[in-house]
């Protein structure tokens, strides 16, 4: 019978990522925030890493170069191109499609383009729609038809072509519930596996931006990423162009930045500072490290693991496991201790 699948026949695998653990491959991600929080610059930063193979923000591994398709509505093609150039993207691997109201009626045309690229040396692995207000028709922006008319086919396209889809949108509501601030139907959030929110940093709103993971169906809560505003020269332009530069980790969560709670100093803060101090002299054997921390603080292993994640500490194993001599080491890599302090 059609549409019935035995669960035993379904391959089980880890999620695939464009930017782990923030932008999954084969799924929809929402990137939202107030205007002037540099959402488009973050998209350009992600595209630059994807198209050149350099590590994504907060990551260390390089990957094969892949192409990207951008649907650009609020900016001109020239503005979008200059932003990509400033971010360091390989412009030969980026295509811009500029046409208002392109979703869902132009999805067939977009699919044909993606399928043609799939057979080439650099398949498209990212489709960014900036902003969805420009490219989704009015009926799909305003009501619950959004999932059936636009997001359903888009989600199917993402999974079929192993494509990460980023939908950029503005906040439209006053501070309140974290996942209820974006313009348009709440059904948009329901179709996404990951929701990222961009904010001005409370510590330095003129120069720093925070990208917070507001929701994910694929991973546990993750640290927010911190970016600094910078500029870069671009051929053909007299003035340098703004870009984002990764600056480490922010302690502010999406709920805190949406005004849902005030952050107080916690055991996690103390554990994070202890880990930074101990590992500043070099890597440490795990059991020895654990003993040092617990000599200072009464904390659980879970809190220590959370502090490890927030600092981006790398764990490695050495020795022969069969002989029971394998040891685990924790190491704080250069730059991974650049943490923006939280608090009020």
Tens place of pLDDT for every residue, the chain, 344 residues? 677 989 988 888 899 999 999 999 999 999 999 999 999 999 999 999 999 999 999 999 999 999 999 999 889 999 999 999 999 999 999 999 977 767 878 899 999 999 999 888 999 999 999 988 888 765 545 555 655 677 888 999 999 999 999 999 999 865 667 888 887 767 788 889 999 999 999 989 999 999 999 999 999 999 999 999 999 999 999 999 999 999 999 989 999 998 854 444 567 788 888 888 888 888 899 888 888 888 777 778 888 888 888 888 988 888 765 555 778 999 987 655 455 655 43
Question: Hey, what are 307's tokens?
Answer: 């502090």
- What pLDDT does residue 195 have? 97
- What pLDDT does residue 344 have? 37
Considering only CA atoms, which of 132, 95, 91 is closest in space to residue 235?
91
Q: What is the DSSP letter of 343?
A: -
Strands 67-72 and 124-130: parallel
Q: d(Cα 302, Cα 261) in Å, to the nearest integer?
A: 22
Considering only CA atoms, which of 224, 257, 225, 263 is closest in space to residue 343?
263
- Number of C-beta neighbours around residue 233 at 10 A: 11
Contact predicate 189/215, CB 8 Å: yes
Residue with tokens 């519930």: 177
Summarised one tens digit per residue, pLDDT across range 72-116 is 988 999 999 999 999 999 999 999 997 776 787 889 999 999 999
Domain at 267-340, CATH from 1.10.10, 1.10.405, 1.10.357, 1.20.5: 1.10.10
Summarised one tens digit per residue, pLDDT across range 18-49 is 999 999 999 999 999 999 999 999 999 999 99
HEC sequence for 72-89: ECCCCHHHHHHHHHHHCC
Q: d(Cα 275, Cα 292) in Å, to the nearest integer?
A: 9
Fold of 7-257: Rossmann fold (3.40.50)
Show me where the domains of the chain are located. 7-257, 267-340
In 3-state terms, the chain is what percent helix, strand and coil (to 5)?
35, 25, 40
């Amino acid at each position: 019978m059609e549409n019935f699948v035995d669960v035993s026949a379904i391959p089980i695998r880890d999620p695939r990522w464009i930017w782990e653990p923030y932008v999954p491959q084969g799924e929809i991600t929402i990137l939202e925030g107030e205007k002037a929080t540099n959402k488009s610059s973050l998209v350009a930063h992600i595209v630059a890493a994807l198209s050149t193979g350099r590590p994504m923000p907060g990551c260390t591994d390089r990957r094969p170069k892949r192409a990207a398709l951008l649907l650009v509505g609020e900016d001109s093609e020239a503005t979008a191109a200059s932003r990509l150039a400033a971010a360091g993207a390989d412009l030969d691997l980026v295509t811009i499609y500029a046409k208002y109201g392109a979703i869902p009626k132009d999805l067939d045309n977009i699919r044909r383009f993606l399928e043609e690229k799939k057979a080439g040396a650099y398949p498209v692995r990212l489709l960014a729609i900036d902003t969805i207000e420009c490219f989704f028709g009015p009926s799909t922006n305003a009501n619950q038809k959004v999932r059936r008319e636009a997001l359903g086919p888009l989600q199917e396209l993402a999974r079929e072509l192993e494509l990460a889809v980023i939908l950029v949108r503005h906040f439209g509501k006053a501070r309140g519930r974290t996942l209820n601030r974006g313009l348009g139907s709440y059904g948009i959030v329901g179709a996404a596996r990951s929701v990222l929110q961009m904010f001005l940093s409370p510590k330095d709103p003129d120069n720093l931006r925070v990208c917070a993971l507001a929701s994910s169906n694929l991973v546990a809560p993750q640290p927010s990423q911190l970016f600094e505003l910078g500029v870069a020269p671009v051929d053909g332009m007299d003035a340098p162009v703004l870009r984002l530069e990764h600056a480490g980790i922010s302690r502010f969560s999406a709920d805190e930045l949406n005004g849902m709670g005030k952050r107080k100093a916690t055991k996690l803060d103390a554990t994070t500072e202890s880990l930074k101090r101990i590992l500043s002299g070099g890597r440490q054997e795990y059991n020895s490290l654990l003993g040092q921390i617990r000599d200072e603080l009464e904390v659980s292993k879970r809190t220590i693991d959370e502090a490890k994640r927030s600092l981006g500490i790398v764990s490695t194993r050495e020795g022969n496991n069969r002989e029971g001599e394998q040891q685990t080491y924790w190491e704080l890599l250069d730059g991974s201790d650049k943490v923006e302090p939280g608090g009020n």
